[in-house]
Amino acid sequence: MKKTLSKIAFFAALPVLLFTTVSYKSDFFEIAKQLEIFTTLFKELNMNYVDETNPAELMDTAINAMLEDLDPYTHYWNEQEVQAARIDNAGEYTGIGATVGIKADKIVILEPYKDYPADKAGLKAGDEIIKIGNISVENFSEDAGELLKGAPNSKVELTFIRQGETKTTTLTRGAVEIKAVPFYELLEDKTGYIVLSQFNRNASAETVNALKELKEQGAEKIILDLRGNPGGLLSEAINVTNIFVPQGELITSTKSAVEKYNQTFSTTKKAIDPEIPLAVLINGRSASASEIVAGALQDLDRAVVIGARSFGKGLVQRPKDLTYGTQLKVTISRYYTPSGRCIQALDYRHRDEEGNAVRYSEKDYNEFKTRNGRKVYDGGGISPDIKLETSEFSDVTNALLFENAIFDYATNYYYTHNLNSPEDFSFTEKDFSDFKAYLNTVGFEYQTATEEELQDVIDAAKKEGYQQDLSAALKSIEEAISTSKEQALNNKKAEIMSLISEEIIKRYFYKEGLYEYYVKKNPEILKAKEILQDKAQYQNILKG
């Protein structure tokens, strides 16, 4: 009943939302007309349809269909999702202390946090939870992950599968603190290394604390690691940039069809250290607020950016409160770097034949200039000053991640190998050969963009009667693609081996061990140290 009321409340509030936020740019009559059509349709459908209907499910479908036509960041949030968002921003919640994923009829432990409830209960990455208390995950129609949450110190029995064997454990829930800066350390060459994993409300404060402690220990250079950081609060992105940039500098601006959302955001405080040499690490999973920070520091020639092109999320969302504790998270504008770049990589206003947003191509990129006159471009995330192959995510790598091939291989590796310390680990050529053999045993396959295009050609040939005439040529192309796909694993060996190494290290030594491994062997960190150590090279990069 509660869920039904929430859905109905959304549409009850919709006229107010529309008329108060966009009435001046839309036709009053057209809005009222469409709302009346929908209301009468919804009523007649529920009263007259041949089978019994579920109003809540119908409304849920209507909401999702409407929002999916816009962009993937505009969402309707129910009460539970609103609370979860507040937890993410606050940096603390009560739960099991692990990242989990939903896989068919199971909840998979992706990463347990050291010394938190899941870890203390003996759960490992790869464990598949099939029962929570007396409730089978398979038979639970709602979000089964919610069953893992509960009051502090409450206990719950979990039934899980590990390597084909069914086990049970009792877990005691507790407060879980989500650190924005989970790791920082002074390296041997007086370089301070800071990992900033998300932009919650504590991001800038934790970064300032890390910087000050590192400088007290003797740090003369800083590496700020934003790899895998999905973003968060815009205000914290400004504050983090302000640590290294003087007061009064433009960091980002937003542009919208609604004039009141056109804003500029500048630094408002005295910088903690506006001079210390700085390198910023990014990759394809660095998004949103991470891109604001990296883009601003690059445009202002304040840091050397190293790694791979960032995700390309240049859209700004704002939550709008609805009734019954629900929210509409709506895209209101696009953000731009100080030089004027919009880093948005996908154009949701234009879609292909399958309804997918079109990615801006390099020929559509516009050129901009940094403060020192270096050329930078819009339309596809932040492109680093120094590109490294180990940071990139190719098609085959993305397919491996999507199919959980690297994750599952690391699980098997953990149960068949002993490892004493992160420093002792090295993923060898023999290990990579074993990984390729493993892919064959699990039947790993993926489809390239070329194969998708080829299938369109084959379908067209069938319709037009040319399939027989072209069969030999098409078969030859298919064989060539197959050979290229096999070669792709070897061509992208560096990035694949890097990801496998990271996943394996976490199994034995948690995230803390991964960072210890990073500072010794990670190619991006080693490159950053090299550039920061060479003052002439550092300055030449920033001067262009």
Q: What are the catalytic residues?
A: 288, 299, 313
3-class SS of residue 339: coil
Name residue 175's beta-bridge partners: 94
The 3-state secondary structure of 219-285, one letter per residue: CCEEEEECCCCCCECHHHHHHHHHCCCCCCCEEEEEECCCHHHCEEEECCCCCCCCCCCEEEEECCC
φ, ψ at 300 (rounded to 5°): -85, 5
Which residue spans within 362-450 are E strands per DSSP?
A: 367-369, 375-377, 386-387
Residue 348, H or E segment: strand 346-351
CB 232 within 8 Å of CB 289: yes
Measure the CA–CA gap between 456 and 484, rounded to whole angstroms: 20
Of 277, 298, 302, give the one whose Cα is nearest residue 222: 277
- Angle in degrees, CA 256, 257, 258, rounded to 5: 85
φ, ψ at 124 (rounded to 5°): -125, 155
Residue 52, classified by CB atoms within 10 Å of its CB into exposed (0-12), middle (13-18) or buried (19+), is: exposed
- Alpha-helix residue ranges (DSSP H) falling in 252-392: 289-299
Q: Are strands 191-195 and 304-307 parallel, antiparallel or unpaired?
A: unpaired
Residue whose pair of structure tokens reads 């929430």 in the numeric block: 6
Contacts of 191 (CB under 8 A, 6+ apart): 219, 220, 221, 222, 223, 528, 529, 532, 533
CB 243 within 8 Å of CB 271: yes
Query: Tokens for 223?
Result: 């590496």
3-class SS of residue 454: helix
Q: Are strands 263-266 and 250-255 parallel, antiparallel or unpaired?
A: antiparallel
- Angle in degrees, CA 503, 505, 510, rounded to 5: 95
CB 461 within 8 Å of CB 470: yes
Per-residue CA distances from 48 to 37, 44, 404 (Å): 16, 6, 45
Contacts of 410 (CB under 8 A, 6+ apart): 125, 126, 500, 503, 504, 506, 507
Question: What length is written for the chain?
Answer: 544
